[in-house]
Amino acid sequence: MSLRDFFPQEIKAIIFDFDGVLVDSMPYHAAAWVEAFAEVGVNMLPEQIYDIEGSNHIGVIKRIFSGNDMTPSEDQIDSIADRKRELFFEFDKSKAFAGMQQCLNDLKSTYSLALVSGSTRKIVDELVASFYPETFDVVISGSDVLNGKPAPDPFLKAMGMLDVSPERCVIVENAPLGVEAAKNAGAFCIAVPTYVDPATLKKADIIVADHSELLRYLYSLL
């Protein structure tokens, strides 16, 4: 079945999450978060990050602190986020998922493409430059919005910059908070369970088994 079969109107744009959808980077994000939190006395497991990935750094820090019955100060939020970013670049061995670079190059001739990530601007810009240069019409990082996923704000900001309505967008996600944000924005969502149980993505319109199936759906749009 083609993705076109799900749409009564013409699709104008495809919006991608980054970590876990286009690049295999979440293990390094998780390791950086675990170390950054440990340095301020908050112990956690990498799996806890996978459960809340997609949220921006403010959301991640507040959620982890809340789970430990703590409230971070503004200075703590800034310092932990800065330390996490430093550690990510120390740990980073990210790579693009097979076939995704060529797929986006093929889609770009027909659709507007946007990237919406919860990561900070510096991380997003460096990884995009490494793996997907000159690919996206719009790039939104977690630094660009106050309310990150599951709020719809990052996706709505991208749609506004693309001048496209939610009904004409496909959003590709891999995390529960990202799927929730996509649906809160009123868009069609296809999810790939890269690091999580597929059951946690049940709010998506389509859940694919893996990136190979995701590629088949995306190429069905051409």
- Same domain? For 112 and 184 the reply is yes
Band the pLDDT of 8: cuts 50, 70, 90. Answer: confident
pTM of the predicted structure, to 2 decimals: 0.93
- Return the closest-CA partner of residue 118 out of 67, 180, 186, 168: 180
pLDDT value at position 65?
94
What is the average per-residue pLDDT within 56-68? 92
| Per-residue model confidence as pLDDT tens digits over 76-97 | 999 999 999 999 999 999 999 9
What rounded mean pLDDT belongs to the chain? 95
CATH code for the domain in which residue 14 is found: 3.40.50.1000
Which DSSP string corresponds to 33-53? HHHHHHTTT----HHHHHHHB
103 in the same domain as 87: no
Q: Per the structure block, which two tokens stand in for 61?
A: 């820090």
Tens digits of residue pLDDT in 109-143: 999 999 999 999 999 999 999 999 999 999 999 99
* pLDDT tens digits for range 18-27: 999 999 999 9
Q: What does the pLDDT average to over 197-218?
A: 97
Do 66 and 18 share a structural domain? no
Query: For residues 39 and 167, what is the distance between their CA atoms, to the nearest angstrom?
Result: 44
CB distance 208 to 179 below 8 Å = no
Distances 222 to 33, 80, 106, 180 between C-alpha atoms, Å:
39, 43, 8, 27
Show the domain range for 67. 26-91
CATH number of residue 43's parent domain? 1.10.150.240
- 169 plus 211 within the same structural domain: yes
> Residue 138 phi/psi, 5° resolution?
-140, 135
Cβ contacts of 158 within 8 Å, gap of 6 or more? 15, 114, 116, 138, 140
